[in-house]
Amino acid sequence: MTRTLHADTTAELATEDLRDALLIDLAFADGTVRFWSGIGDLVWSGDTFTGTGSLGEVSKIEETADLRAVGVQLKLSGIPASLLAIALGEHYQGRLGNIWLALFDANWAIIDDPILMFTGKMDVMVIEVGQETGTIQVNLEHRLIDLNRARERRYTPEDQNVLYPNDRGLDNVASLQDKDIVWGKS
């Protein structure tokens, strides 16, 4: 997929001294959590991203030309055990997560807007608990993964009314069961 990049971004990508970082936001029920791969706090677009430094990992972000769902794995280590309980109690599956690539100038100011690298839904969270700290790993799945999920729909009035409450088109389907229908002249 081709992307249009700002001229400043293109110029920075061509330099030998490239300064880049990943920005991640995960939308939980209690609010959005934001991290970046640097140290300290980073403010972008009015939001504060907490630096993870070497404590965070992001798997390879793959973009394919064929119609295939490719996910990304996020891992955060060194989390205090007290905060792991919050992660265990959160409802997260199906909520959105985004990953951006930010480029910085020589003064560590963000050049243009970061490039959106991946958008997906949180799927599986694996939590490893140690004596004092732990690790959280969460998978972000591409929206194409929904194509693999079975659709449980029936030709019943009850199922039809879930989407269309006033539709009566399937009300007589049950009466058609085992009905003899004569076609043509008898």
How far from 164 is each of 69, 81, 157, 160, CA to CA, in Å? 30, 47, 10, 6
Given pLDDT bands bounded at 50, 70 and 90, which one contains residue 5? low
DSSP track, the chain:
------HHHHHHHTSSS-EEEEEEEEEETTEEEEEESSSSEEEETTEEEEE-GGGEEE------SSS----EEEEEEEEEHHHHHHHHH---TT-EEEEEEEEE-TTSPBPSSPEEEEEEEEEEEEEEE-SSEEEEEEEEE-GGGGGGSPP---SSHHHHHHH-TT--TTTTTGGGTT-----S--
Give the length of the chain.
186
Q: What is the pTM of this model?
A: 0.69
Given pLDDT bands bounded at 50, 70 and 90, which one contains residue 33? confident
Specify the pLDDT at position 83.
67
Q: What is the mean pLDDT of the chain?
A: 82
- Torsion angle of the four alpha carbons 22, 100, 48, 131, in this order, in degrees rounded to the nearest 10: -50
Specify the pLDDT at position 108.
82
pLDDT tens per residue across span 83-141: 677 677 778 888 899 999 998 888 888 888 898 888 999 888 888 887 777 888 888 88
pLDDT tens per residue across span 145-154: 666 667 788 8
